């Protein structure tokens, strides 16, 4: 795991001012993701949150929604694009390509991960693991 100092340096470009966010897309692919989301929800009051995952509420990605290249199909991507999200938060336990790639293809400008295992362009902001990462998230986004 990288040291916290290097994470801070990597994210320095985002710390100069707080970025306003109204709509957040949250990527989830397990029950553990729901637990992580429960940590975030009290801190994200006033924001509209939509889940993107394999089950539950929100935008659901099934096997029928993924092409042979493991990419989400047009109908899912169109649904995400129609809602214009400013922020994507990846809460997947491990890298889950259909969810992470949907945020990139739909050009969500800020893609946050709490894991050092996610590579750019899938996350352009990498924060310390939860729950410590919540404080960093709130410093960047308002």
| CA 122 – CA 131 distance, rounded (Å) | 21
Q: What is the mean pLDDT of residues 68-84?
A: 93
pLDDT value of residue 71: 92
Non-local CB neighbours of 78 within 8 Å, separated by 6+ positions: none
pLDDT value of residue 2: 47
Instruction: Delineate the domains of the chain, giving CATH numbers in brackets.
Output: 23-140 (3.40.50)
pLDDT value of residue 15: 54
| CA 109 – CA 88 distance, rounded (Å) | 8
pLDDT tens per residue across span 53-66:
888 788 998 999 99
Is 109 a residue whose pLDDT tops 60? yes
Angle at alpha carbon of residue 134, lines to 85 and 112, rounded to 5°: 40
pLDDT value of residue 16: 55
| CA 92 – CA 24 distance, rounded (Å) | 15
pTM over 0.95: no
């Amino acid at each position: 795991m990288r040291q916290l100092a290097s994470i801070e340096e990597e994210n320095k470009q985002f710390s100069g001012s707080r970025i306003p966010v109204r709509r957040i897309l949250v990527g989830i692919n397990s029950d553990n993701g729901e637990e992580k989301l429960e940590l975030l929800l009290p801190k994200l009051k006033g924001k509209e949150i939509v889940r993107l995952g394999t089950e539950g509420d929100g935008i659901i990605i099934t096997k029928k929604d993924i092409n042979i290249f493991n990419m989400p199909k047009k109908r899912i991507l169109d649904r995400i694009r129609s809602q214009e999200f400013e922020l994507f938060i990846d809460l997947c336990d491990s890298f889950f390509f259909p969810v992470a790639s949907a945020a990139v293809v739909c050009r969500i400008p800020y893609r946050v991960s709490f894991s050092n295992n996610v590579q750019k362009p899938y996350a352009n902001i990498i924060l310390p693991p939860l729950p410590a990462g919540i404080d960093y998230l709130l410093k960047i986004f308002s």
